[in-house]
Amino acid sequence: MNTISENTPIYIEDYNYPLPDERIAKYPLTQRDASKLLIYKDGTISETVFSNIASYLPENCLLVYNNTRVIQARLIFRKTTGSHIEVFCLEPLTPSDYALSLGATTECIWKCMVGNLKKWKTGILSRTLIIDNNTFTFNAELLESEENTHTIRFTWDNADIHFAEILEKAGELPIPPYLHRKTEESDLTTYQTVYSKIKGSVAAPTAGLHFTSEVFKSLELRNIETAELTLHVGAGTFQPVKKNDIALHQMHSEVISVHRSTIEHLQKKIGNIIAVGTTSVRTLETLYFIGENLSTKPYKRDGENTVNIQVETFNVSQWTPYETNTEISAFDALQNILDYLNKNNQTTLHANTKIMIKPGYKFRVVNGMITNFHQPKSTLMLLVSAFVNGNWKTIYDYALDKDFRFLSYGDSSLLLR
């Protein structure tokens, strides 16, 4: 039984460290895989360059990466008074499916953050856009607000234009605010992984930015297999932890999708799974709790006689890992998901996760991770500390002493349990 409680006192101030602005990488290296790579294994630290990573990965491991693609989610409207209103698209509400919403042709509704909201009390914001020689009007209407997020209805008077095209034409790529600069043309390429393909994130899964075609060739030469999943990164990844007691922090929800073939691949590689980035870690660990939850559903495998369970959207809360009273193997948890997909004729698992991985967490699926160096006092620091059994400060002191570059465009680490 998992004895960890969500009331375990953990204070974010204990995960602070001095990070001078000059150590934050404002731009990536010209060659992605020329970045430094810190290796943490058996409590010891060494370093190399990322292009050599294949030589440091365990034999027979499975490398799992997040194939999400960053959308140009920041839209700027100008009022007749001259005021600029920034609308930052976070996640689709109607339709709630990313693909359907990005493919909408006249209207869609998104949860957004709004900059300069005090200048937009009422009324509809409008822009005139031209796409493929078609001129049309694009509107934003504020429907309701809840704390710092807002429900915005977007409409446009041309059914030949998809919302994804509008974002690509009129939107800006939302690079991290701590870079303290505007988005540049180069970011459209460098702030995407080479394997990104499923549109939906408002921030890149930055551990993957170091991969190149040459790195993938080196993985093949060592017979290291790969698999992909999708977690659409939300703007919450940049939200500071405002409460010192981590029990008072509210995690943001993120959408995940994992194909049945990936789950089958994971099952075969239990004990040898390396996650590329914290987004992949959160997705993989979320799978365990979905599978564990399915073990309590009202159906049993009984030869070929089974009772279908209702198709549903799974939600894993931030405290789910610390409230469970059962414990099954990772293999069985994944098997429960496969059974669910098969019984409901589905090929892909869709879910929402708010999972918080903090010190004391027991990892069920992930055995190693590739990750960049994160902001002080962030939930990602809690995740790293949990993974290295509290030894994060030794790792970060080494990186600071050895001139590693930090945050999204910085260097990376390979952490092995």
Give the range among 1-15, 111-125, 222-236 with minimum mean pLDDT.
1-15
**Tens digits of residue pLDDT in 141-156:** 999 998 888 999 999 9
Other residues' Cβ atoms within 10 Å of the Cβ of residue 127: 16
Quote the tokens at residue 83: 């005021």
- pLDDT value at residue 7: 56
- pLDDT value at residue 302: 41
- pLDDT value at residue 305: 41
- pLDDT value at residue 79: 82
- pLDDT value at residue 147: 80
**Tens digits of residue pLDDT in 66-81:** 999 999 999 999 887 7
Residue by residue, DSSP assigns 232-292 as E--GGGG-----SBGGGPPPPPEEEEEEHHHHHHHHHTTT-EEEESHHHHHHHHHHHHHHH
The pLDDT mean for the chain works out to 92
- Domain coordinates in residue numbering, the chain: 12-69+188-416, 73-172
Give the range among 10-19, 114-123, 335-344, 394-403 with minimum mean pLDDT.
114-123
CATH of domain 12-69+188-416: 3.40.1780.10
DSSP annotation of 12 reads G
pLDDT (average), residues 300-318: 57
**Tens digits of residue pLDDT in 205-239:** 999 999 999 999 999 999 999 999 999 998 776 67
**Tens digits of residue pLDDT in 153-196:** 999 999 999 999 999 999 999 999 899 999 999 999 999 999 99
pLDDT (average), residues 116-142: 91
Residue 228, SS3 per DSSP: strand
- pLDDT value at residue 341: 96
Backbone φ and ψ of 383, nearest 5°:
-60, -45
pLDDT (average), residues 315-334: 91
| Gap between the Cα atoms of 246 and 248, Å rounded | 5
- pLDDT value at residue 313: 64
Q: Which pLDDT band holds residue 343 (cuts at 50, 70, 90)?
A: very high
Contacts 24+ apart (CB under 8 A), 146-150: 148/113, 149/90, 149/111, 149/112, 149/113, 150/111, 150/112, 150/113, 150/114, 150/117
**Tens digits of residue pLDDT in 365-381:** 999 999 999 999 999 99
DSSP annotation of 221 reads H
